[in-house]
Amino acid sequence: MSVERSTRAVKQWALECGFDLAGVCPAQPVEDAAIYDDWAARGLAGRMTYLTDRRSALRHDPRTLLASARSIVCVAKLYNGPQPYSTTRSQAELAWISRYAWGPDYHHVLRQGLTQLAERIGGESKVCVDTAPLLERSYARLAGLGWIGRNTCLINQMHGSWFFLGELLTDALLEPDQPPTDRCGTCRRCIDACPTQALVPRHGTYELDARLCISYLTIELRGPTPAPLRAATGANVFGCDICQDVCPWNRRAPQSAAFSPVAAFLEAPPLERLAEVTATEFRELFRRTPIERARYTGFLRNVATAMGNSGLARFRPALERMAASADPAVSEHALWALQRVRQ
């Protein structure tokens, strides 16, 4: 079998293993590594030390993860659903949870599919999801899956940006695909729509200042959210979809049932219901979903902030209860919110 035909076969196997997009690139260092190092050195990763510690150097070469790797099979799996986008909703009593977190934890789903693909290819391989020290968007771009947009998401012309990425390092020598043309043009809708202005200019393009990103503030950041940024987080209690919701390439993005909501209320959760969740319920409701990452107290902190941003006096009892929390961040945010809701 020729190298070229092997590549076609591998990509077809990837689709049969449940992925929506697949491409191949060489298992070599990428020029983007220098850009990443500069981004991290300037502190734009915030407190996400797992992006800047000793593991950071591993991102320079995929062969640090698999010495025999010669190719990377990059895959993508869609998670867009039929539900409305955050930018079309206006009910102040409802929270917003990023649509990627409505379904089961994607790490398990992608790892299962990649493991199946590895078995079909044979030889030495290593499965990577986003927990591996790999510049996955850069390799996905080289593999032809899409271009990296101004919102820093990977965008595919036909499928938009609502997909999870995964990689399989393999010792198989495969014919590489070619990266697509950047099609953002002069569009800056994501930049203008970001409430915290987290997309900042850099050398003629844009980069993400994670310290300002609502997803970072509501998921990764521990302790209190900086006071100047609280109002801008709006109703977001876990993640943020705004820069993808406004992207023109997502207007006709296909839908998938692969990550259907694990609980019906995740699509439009009432803030009052979320404020009542106990630590035990939090573990039960969100077990094996991405929402676990925010931790219980971080989640309540975000709920209190969203209640304050709603301006609704009906939330005062719940906020008064959270103001008595033993967790300093929850208490601080609840007290802040009480000053913002109408009497």
Mind telling me the catalytic residues? 130
Q: What angle do CA 169, 170, 174 make, to 5 degrees?
A: 115
Q: In Å, what is the CA distance from 315 to each residue of 68, 305, 306? A: 58, 11, 10
Closest CA to 241 of 140, 161, 135, 136: 161
Q: What is the 3-state secondary structure (H, E, C) of the chain?
A: CCHHHHHHHHHHHHHHCCCCEEEEEECCCCCHHHHHHHHHHCCCCCCCHHHCCHHHHHHHCHHHCCCCCCEEEEEEEECCCCCCCHHHCCCCCECEECHHHCCCCHHHHHHHHHHHHHHHHCCCEEEECCCCCCCHHHHHHHCCCCEECCCCCEEECCCECCEEEEEEEECCCCCCCCCCCCCCCCCCHHHHHCCCCCEEEECCEEEECHHHCHHHHHHHCCCCCCHHHHHHHCCEEECCCHHHHCCHHHCCCCCCCCCCCCCHHHHCCEHHHHHCCCHHHHHHHHCCCHHHHHCHHHHHHHHHHHHHHHCCHHHHHHHHHHHCCCCHHHHHHHHHHHCCCCC
Q: Any idea of the CA torsion for 280, 281, 286, 288, to the nearest 10 degrees? A: 40
Look at the alpha carbons of 330, 331, 333, 334 in this order and tell me if their dihedral is positive or negative. Answer: positive
